[in-house]
Amino acid sequence: MSVLQEISPSVRNMWQLEYGVLARQASQIKEQLRQGVRKPYQEVIDVSWGDPHRGGLKPLSFVRQVLAACLYPELVNSDKLPVDVRQRAQRLLGGCVGGSVGSYTTTAGISEIVQRVSEFITRRDGGAPSYPENIYISPGSQWSLTNIFTVLVNSEGSPRAGVLTPVPSHCTTTLSMVGLGAVIVPYYLSEEQGWELKVEELHRALESVKGVCKPVALYVINPGNPSGHVQSRKSMQEVIRFASKKRLFLLADEVYQDCVYGEKSEFFSYKRVLSEMGPPLSDTVELASFHSASKGFMGECGLRGGYVELVNLDPAVMKYIYNLFSIDSCAPVLGQIALDLMTNPPQPGDPSYPLYNMETQHIRAALIRNVKRAHEVFNSLLGFSCQPVEGGAFAFPSLHLPPKVIQKAKEVGMQPDTFYCMRLLEEAGVLASPGCEYGQKEGTYHIRFCIMAAEETMEEVLRRLTSFHTQFMEDSS
């Protein structure tokens, strides 16, 4: 009997990401370019993922130096590396079993690193205490998210568990919820108001699933992916009150916390806002907050280091969470080290500080300029309209497509925005992602561009887009 018949209905419900068809086409084009096929461009630029190094940003020297010395401890005694790099590597190796990054660590992560992550959280949150026993390091934050959903979603429950999920949202998280058997309860971010999260919309979403599922959790992404919105403290307080009143577990996906560009925007963690609201809320609202070494200035996605901090969970639930995390033994040690370096970077006075400071300032300035340029260019193109990007890794402009294009897309069996992305890829060599991947209001279309890229890469994307789009609209009108 084929295993196909045994695949669980939840896994069957996981849809194919639109990205697949675009990625396959991108690979073919790259191969053609390698073989010398002539195209109007010499290479494909991929701005479809929130992957800073893919977009041409350079890894931070301090991070790579410490990692190098941890991998090859001979370097700890070499004068080729700054003294603080060598000391940090030595200290980190001291936390590894057998002094090697090749050993397993304890389930939650190397205890010295978990301790330092909790100290970072306390500093970040203005002194609101964080406890190492509530923190789990995982192979990227996606892993933690899936584990927490596994605990929250009773796949055999009737009615099924529902998770309030933003539209648009991070698509792999939505897929992981579906794969676990959750019902996605969409709440729409208000595009016209800069993708704001409105608490009235949460009420509407909850009402709309009465009798359909049992809502158990509320998932928020702040700063937003792909929306680029940064929530105000007031909005977060409203969300917390809502979660408390409706007895929903709050999942705060805060992986873009270092990426805030708007002059009036500031990142606050849900943990901090909850803690400052005081009892009874601060003692009762159950919260999981996620962060990652994949984003921010480091952008070390491939090292797979993320963490979750759990707040106000029943100790009995914490035992199950421990079990789930222990299945994978531990997160990759290099990912754990990346988290340590992200949460405890060089300080003024350290030998590595001047270079670290220069590199991070350079990246910050580039991202601010990218955001400004992307916003200007999108809003200058006929049919495009882009809300301000206050934070995160993406611009998510809406695209008003002519009826002729929608018809053509139908004829070839594609979503209209996937059709647009395919043409952009084939004709201009730019790989972006279609809005349908992330969820959007019926009848609207969007394109997601990663702005976490080197400035020259972003400029080239905008240049190619402008000339492609002008021609595309002319041909389609």
Ligand X SMILES: Cc1ncc(COP(=O)(O)O)c(C=O)c1O
Positions in the binding site for ligand X (CB under 6 A): 50, 140-142, 170, 173, 221, 225, 253, 255, 292, 294, 301, 306
Q: Give the residue with the Cβ less far from ligand X, 107 or 282.
A: 107
Specify the residue, 215 or 224, whose C-beta has the smaller distance to ligand X. 224
> Measured from the CB atom, is 140 or 397 closer to ligand X?
140
Least Å distance, CB 189 to ligand X, is 13
Contact status, residue 414 vs residue 422, Cβ threshold 8 Å: yes
**Nearer Cβ to ligand X (253/390):** 253
From the CB of 306, what's the least distance to ligand X, in Å? Answer: 4
- CA dist., res. 50 & res. 177, Å (int): 20
Q: Cβ neighbours of residue 237 under 8 Å, at least 6 residues apart?
A: 273, 277
Identify whether the C-beta of residue 259 lies closer than 8 Å to the C-beta of residue 392. Answer: yes
399 phi/psi in degrees, rounded to 5: -135, 120
End-to-end alpha carbon distance in the chain: 53
Burial pattern 407-418, b for ≥16 Cβ within 10 A else e, equals: ebbeeeebbbbb
Q: How far is the CB of 273 from ligand X (least distance, A)?
A: 18
For residue 349, the minimal CB distance to ligand X (Å) is: 31
Of all residues in the shown chain, the one whose CB is closest to ligand X is: 140
Q: Are 259 and 52 in contact (CB under 8 A)?
A: no
Q: How far is the CB of 82 from ligand X (least distance, A)?
A: 28
CB 194 within 8 A of CB 188: no
C-alpha to C-alpha distance for 300 and 3, rounded to whole angstroms: 36
- Closest approach of Cβ 170 to ligand X, in Å? 4
Taking the complex as a whole, the smallest distance from the CB of residue 343 to ligand X amounts, in Å, to 14
Asked if 390 and 227 touch (Cβ cutoff 8 Å), the reply is: no
Which is nearest to 356 in space by CA: 25, 55, 88? 88
> Which is closer to ligand X, CB of 33 or CB of 167?
167
Quick one: 110 or 251, whose CB is closer to ligand X? 251
Distance CA 146, CA 302 (A): 18
Closer of 81 and 333 to ligand X (Cβ): 333
Identity of the residue, 130 or 294, whose beta carbon is nearer to ligand X in the bound complex: 294
Determine the residue type at 44.
V
- How many Å apart are CA 294 and CA 339, to the nearest integer? 9
Distance in angstroms (rounded) separating the CA atoms of residues 221 and 166: 8
**Residues contacting residue 460 through CB under 8 Å, at least 6 positions apart:** 45
Q: How far is the CB of 253 from ligand X (least distance, A)?
A: 5
In angstroms, what CA-CA distances link 225 with 185, 218, 220, 222, 393?
A: 17, 16, 10, 8, 7
Q: Which is closer to ligand X, CB of 394 or CB of 472?
A: 394
Q: How far is the CB of 271 from ligand X (least distance, A)?
A: 16
